[in-house]
Structure formats: C-alpha cells, structure tokens
Amino acid sequence: MKKTGKYVITEEYKRFISGVNIKNIYLKSSTVNCNQEYIDFKKVPNISIDNESSYEIIEENLFKVLTKFVLKVRYENIDKAIIDIRVTFVIIYKNKIPITKEFFNIFKSRNVPLNIWPYFREYIHNTCNRIGVPPLVLPVVQV
C-alpha cells in the first residue's frame, strides 16, 4: 500500500488503473466572456483556474468523467474579470473493473488531470487567439 497525499493507493486500485482505457474525449460546453475595454497589454494579469470533476456510469464497463474548468483573468485594480472562460470536457473510459466512489476520489486527482489538461491548455491558447488577446500559456499539470 502506498500513501499519496490524502489517499491510499491499494493493490486493488492498481489493478483498476491497469485496465483503464480512454474511448473518447470531447468538449461538452463552453462560454467565453472578454472585456476588451479593460485589457492593458503592459500589465501582468492574475490568472485563477478552478476545476471540478464528477463521474457517471454509462454501463457495466463504461463510465464518463465530466471536468468543468473556470479560468478568470484579472488585474489588481479592477474587480471585474477581464476574461472569464468556462469549459466542460467529457472523457469516456472503458475498464473491466467498475469504478467506485473511493476509486474516483483518487482517479480524479491523479489520472483525470493527466488526461484532460492538455486539451484544456490547447483550448485556452486557441480561444485567446480568437478573442484577440495574447495567448495564455498555462503550466503543465502537477500531480
């Protein structure tokens, strides 16, 4: 048994992980708000990113994970977000061992970020280009 953060990685969880395969990843929804009138390209903005994940069992060997991200860009002297991006991605996983709440609590903090973060980074980068602001290069995920 290996303890990682607040979770214990058991042999049973290791068996669960060894059989996980991604069947599909897609964008479920997104909203983008940009207040161009407040943008000052000479200032360094504060960026905050919140996310949450949930899962649903589709059938015996399939489950989907929904991950919602909220990215806000602010300047210190302005209360309003300059950029507010909300996006939800879905990952469909296939596995021989059913997912449980206990497994998901570990899975959402260790495995889901590794799978979905590159898609989120690419989405943010391209969206910034589309709204006419310099692209935000988000850091790599740290698990």
Structural Rg of the chain based on CA atoms: 18
The CATH number of the domain covering residues in 2-130: 3.10.420.10
| pLDDT tens profile 25-44 | 999 999 999 987 777 777 78
Please give the Cα distance from 36 to 134 (Å, whole number).
Answer: 12
pTM of the model: 0.87
Per-residue pLDDT at 1: 43
